[in-house]
Amino acid sequence: MAMAESEQHKPEPTPAQVRRGRRIALLLFAIGFGPMIVATVMFYTGWMNPTGQSNNGTLVRPPVAVADLGLVNGDGEPLADRFGPQKADATWMMLVVAGGECAAECQEQVYLARQVNTALGKNQDRMQRAAYLEQAPDDLSGYPDMPLMQSGNGESPRWPGNVDIERTPQIYVIDPFGNIMMRYGPGHTGKAMLEDLKHLMKISHIG
């Protein structure tokens, strides 16, 4: 009874205490998420980039949420569930996409994604791979670390950049927040991709 009366007569916080509590909450948020936000802005805008390096790939402007593609894996789990600030283990991803038969250019993109990922060295675990191939080749089973995605609603996704993936297979780069932010076509070399991704891993503290 005495405890209940004590709680009832507990004084309300003063306006100064409320303001101080808000400042502390904002400070904790800035400490936790500030570096991730700054790193993302730096990469997308080139702000405070001392090297002045331009991207070899084609930036997706504005970035497109991977959730908009409606992709799911073989178990029906949305690809978008792998990403987001709430996911402690979220990483970057290269998504290889191709329409129709996975012919020479398609298979080259699959191989290129694997080689570039391996060439990232100590940072290779920060980058995952997946593929959306309308007609996957039988030998894709040799790439167990590249799960196949499919459309969750049975309709072909609208790919960023309005790319005809049957004519020009693409490699899309997805950030740990689930944003599709860059793409590479058959005209891009592995060296060009690797330069971009190494730079990305260097300046980014997310993923």
Selected residue with higher pLDDT from 17 and 194: 194
User: For residue 206, is pLDDT > 60?
Assistant: yes
Domain-embedded: residue 98:
yes
Number of domains in the chain: 2
Same domain, 107 and 171: yes
DSSP count for the chain of H helices, then E strands: 4, 7
What CATH number has the domain bearing residue 178?
Answer: 3.40.30.10
User: For residue 2, is pLDDT > 90?
Assistant: no
Same domain, 33 and 62: no
User: For residue 177, is pLDDT > 60?
Assistant: yes
Same domain, 71 and 99: yes
What pLDDT shows up at residue 87? 84
Residue 169 three-state SS: coil
> Which of 163, 154, 155 is closest to 95 using CA atoms?
163
Please tell me the distance from the alpha carbon of residue 46 to that of residue 200, in angstroms, as a whole number. Answer: 11
Write down the pTM of the prediction.
Answer: 0.75
Domain-embedded: residue 52:
no
Same domain, 41 and 68: no
Of the listed ranges 30-34, 74-78, 136-140, 198-202, the least confidently predicted one is 30-34
What pLDDT shows up at residue 10? 58
* Domain coverage including residue 143: 58-203
* Bridge partner residues of 115 (DSSP): none
Pairing of strands 92-101, 127-135: parallel
User: For residue 113, is pLDDT > 60?
Assistant: yes
Give the mean pLDDT of the chain: 82
Selected residue with higher pLDDT from 33 and 166: 166
Confidence of residue 115 (pLDDT cuts 50, 70, 90): very high
Identify the residue whose tokens are 């690809």.
79
User: For residue 67, is pLDDT > 90?
Assistant: yes
